[in-house]
Structure 1
Amino acid sequence: MNIDLTGKLAIVTGSTEGIGFAIARGLADSGATVVVNGRTSARVDAAVARIGGTARGVVADLGDASGHDILLAAEPQADIVVSNLGIFQPADFFDTDDATWDRHWQVNVMAGVRLARSYLPGMEDRRWGRFLLLASESAFNIPVEMIHYGVSKTADVALARGLAKRMAGTGVTVNSVLPGPTLSEGVAAMLEDERASSGRPIEDVAADFVTTHRSSSILRRAATVEEVANMVVYLASPFASATTGAALRVDGGVIDTL
């Protein structure tokens, strides 16, 4: 399968590292012109340089409406939008204040809502588009240590389904992607003390983390960011034209339902 996105403009939010960067690079490798997004010029510039080609960047914090307005002014239309930006913060439910709930809602949910409001109408006019929200296996396996995060990711799945129905018959597809434990830079940093003290490869340390903390995993290891990106690139392509309103899992089998 040769995915060719030549001539398509793709915006990937939160794409200076981790899953977002892997998605941006995967789309660029398939021929798309990619817009990288992050909160600092240094990180955006570095990511754009790593991708090369026609990639360009927009510095904007999409956790509020003013940051969204900056992105929209710089890139008023797109063929592919990947709402990848997200945050998580472990905290017991009874210690989680309104500000934490609101911050997760604004970044993990409302950033995607604003992107959909701004970019879906243009896709509909052109009769082609791909809109993707990065959710999580936590949307179904609500983590007791961060219920607020799980609720926000469940909302992303519901948002994608509702938007897909709203765009019915337009040639525009909307889907959510559910990664499981993934060996991103952030996860590697979290596990660095264990890696350093044990002297074991980071992949082995991550596999132990998965089997301990996500015991339902069938894969029994952390996914790579590229494995998650592969699903997104496929869904962004013409080959996925009959897939919409779906929640696609890249969770290694963590979600224990059929």
Structure 2
Amino acid sequence: MNYEPFEDIYNRACQRKGGRASLELLLTQPLTNEQLATIADDRFLAQFTKSIFQSGFVWRVIHSKWPAFEEVFWEFNIEKLLMMPADMLERKSQDERIVRNFTKVKTVPANAQMMRNVQLEHGSFAQFIADWPEENIIGLWLYLKKNGQRLGGNTGPYALRQIGKDTFILSQDVESYLRAHNIIEGGLYTKRSLEATQRAFNHWREESGRSLTELSRLIAFGVGENLVST
């Protein structure tokens, strides 16, 4: 596969975002593996839950209600959540301080159980995430989709990105680039497409020394309607 050189990707993003200095200000760095490993596991569950509720909903509403979510779900204490009886979960799903969506509320204890299973094997969920190799980040996506609830599609990847794990995101702009350059065809989340996307990002990562997070944003900045005035 002949991939577009990273320099071309970067220069196009520079042109659309007002130059190198302005572009670099828009880029964010993921946390190091050492930093990830120190995050409390409840923060991962909180971020998974936040991303699940934001999916298909107005993000600012979830953001404004988030302190109430933390209170209602005991700051996402995994042990407490796993001991919660079903009738209490139903009552919490009707709490007017949060978004009352029982289908999404049920993911809280379900994903807490997924994380507990990981803890028993790896010591902590944070360490499990930190140790997962970025060159197979799609494998982590698929793990969360298979073993968690409502963490498929972009929900799991967005949650990982928000908490600091290095990952690319299959946004509309990134998808548009991948299709225009014949890197993928067919379904976006098929095994074939995901593997082809991972290979492409691994190539640019090795070529540029940039993180998957930076590469994903640089590609997105180079396409779509996200121009800025210079």
TM class by smaller structure: under 0.3
Q: Which has the higher contact order (CA 8 A, sep 6+)?
A: 2
Q: Normalized against structure 1, the TM-score is what?
A: 0.25
Bigger Rg over Cα = 2
